[in-house]
Amino acid sequence: AIRITQSPSSLSASTGDRVTITCRASQGISSYLAWYQQKPGKAPKLLIYAASTLQSGVPSRFSGSGSGTDFTLTISCLQSEDFATYYCQQYYSYPVAFGQGTKVEIK
């Protein structure tokens, strides 16, 4: 099974900061990687799929990059509504796997 390692597990940032979260796959997954945002008490929400394609309605301050084994989610200018937990997911093959999550907290 393909394993996903996500880092950091948490980070503190201020509104307006640029934030970067990374995921590494244990083997090449081409661009079959998605990013989700989850707020407390809510279901996850798809932000980015195919490593860099923004889901409809997602603000352009979110961007994704990478292919193969190394991927990055960037929030260019953190807003108050962006404080949440973020997960990456590989969907290259079954069993699908999620990263461990990154909690973005207010500094």
Partner 1 sequence: EVQLVQSGAEVKKPGESLKISCKGSGYSFTSYWIGWVRQMPGKGLEWMGIIYPGDSDTRYSPSFQGQVTISADKSISTAYLQWSSLKASDTAMYYCARQNYGDQLYAFDIWGQGTMVTVSS
> Contact residues for partner 1 (CB under 8 A)?
1, 32, 34, 36, 38, 43-46, 49-50, 55, 87, 89, 91-101
Least Å distance, CB 20 to partner 1, is: 19
Q: Are 103 and 10 in contact (CB under 8 A)?
A: yes
Cα-based angle 29, 54, 27 (whole degrees, multiple of 5): 10
Contact 35, 64 (CB under 8 A): yes
Min dist CB 43 to partner 1, Å, is 4
Q: How far is the CB of 61 from partner 1 (least distance, A)?
A: 20
- Of residues 79 and 100, the one with the C-beta less far from partner 1: 100
Q: Which is nearer to partner 1, 66 or 99 (CB)?
A: 99
Distance from C-alpha of 83 to C-alpha of 10, rounded to nearest angstrom: 11
Residue 15 or 27: the one with the smaller Cβ distance to partner 1 is: 27
Among residues 26, 12, 11, the alpha carbon closest in space to that of 102 is found at: 11
